[in-house]
Amino acid sequence: MTSFHPLSVRGRTLGNGREPAVCLSLMTADLTTLDSDVAAILALAPDVIEWRVDHFRAANSADEVFAAAARLRKAVGELPLIFTFRSELEGGAKTGLEPSAVGQLFARAATSKSFEFIDLELSLPVTIINAVIDMAHQSGAQVIVSSHHFDRTPSEEEIFGLLARGAEVGADAAKVAVMPETAADVIRLLSATERASRTLSLPLITMAMGSLGAITRIFGGLFGSALTFAAGERRSAPGQLPIGTLREIFAAVDQLEK
């Protein structure tokens, strides 16, 4: 039987404990649009907001990044925030930042107390991963270790291994996103998720992207995925459903149990 491990913050479960919590990504370009962009997302009532810092034009200035972070924290209140700096190799915006500068951003985010979660790509040097996890845990933040494959769907064993590696390095949640070409690719992703949910003791976040993978964004929770990403005014990855549509589907499924 699938073991669903929900994400939680300060002892509070995100989502309803049965379905994945719903996240919207904030891809604001600069401080002049931050307030309006945040207001638009808050109006859609997500469970979590991910700040995609790689889309922030001043990402090369740590001071500007964390001035924006402070405003974001104040604007969202208690709503959980994920700090994400997605690399270009894994689907992020082109920033030109050196790895050392990216590592410094993660370190400052981990200790800033502005974020409940820090997203770290598994492809980062293990020294950065270990250091940021330690800093985050000392500051009361959690770490999501992630791996994104926009060009393929790895084997079931590889997907499971990526999730297991997240657990091994001490992450609080493990994330894998893949790009399917066939229905069989989608099944592999779901099968690996279900297996990992039974054998690993941390929350999992998995999805197949594109139209083929839409089912994983809706019913991933049945296989053990604790968080799904929806679209607000913009999509941060292919295949994201509008948050209103996703909520309607969840509500319709809930009615089947009554």
Give the residue numbers marked as catalytic. 148, 175
- Token pair recorded at residue 253: 């499924």
Please enumerate in sequence order all residues whose Cβ is within 8 A of that of 226, keeping only pairs 6 or more positions apart, or say none. Answer: 4, 5, 6, 7, 14, 15, 20, 21, 173, 203, 204, 205
Q: Say how far apart CA 223 and CA 219 lie, in whole Å.
A: 7
Q: Say how far apart CA 202 and CA 40 lie, in whole Å.
A: 32
**Helix or strand or coil: residue 49?**
strand
For residue 80, give the H/E element and its range: none
Q: What sign for the dihedral angle of Cα 241, 235, 163, 69?
A: negative
* Torsion-angle region of 140 (φ positive above 0: left; ψ -120 to 50: alpha; else: beta): left
Q: Say how far apart CA 175 and CA 250 lie, in whole Å.
A: 22
Question: Does residue 237 contact residue 211 with C-beta atoms inside 8 Å?
Answer: no
- Token pair recorded at residue 214: 């839409």
Q: Say how far apart CA 206 and CA 245 lie, in whole Å.
A: 19
Taking CA atoms, 102 is separated from 1, 11, 55, 78, 86, in Å, by 40, 30, 14, 26, 10
Q: Say how far apart CA 191 and CA 53 lie, in whole Å.
A: 32
Taken as a whole, the chain contains a residue count of: 258
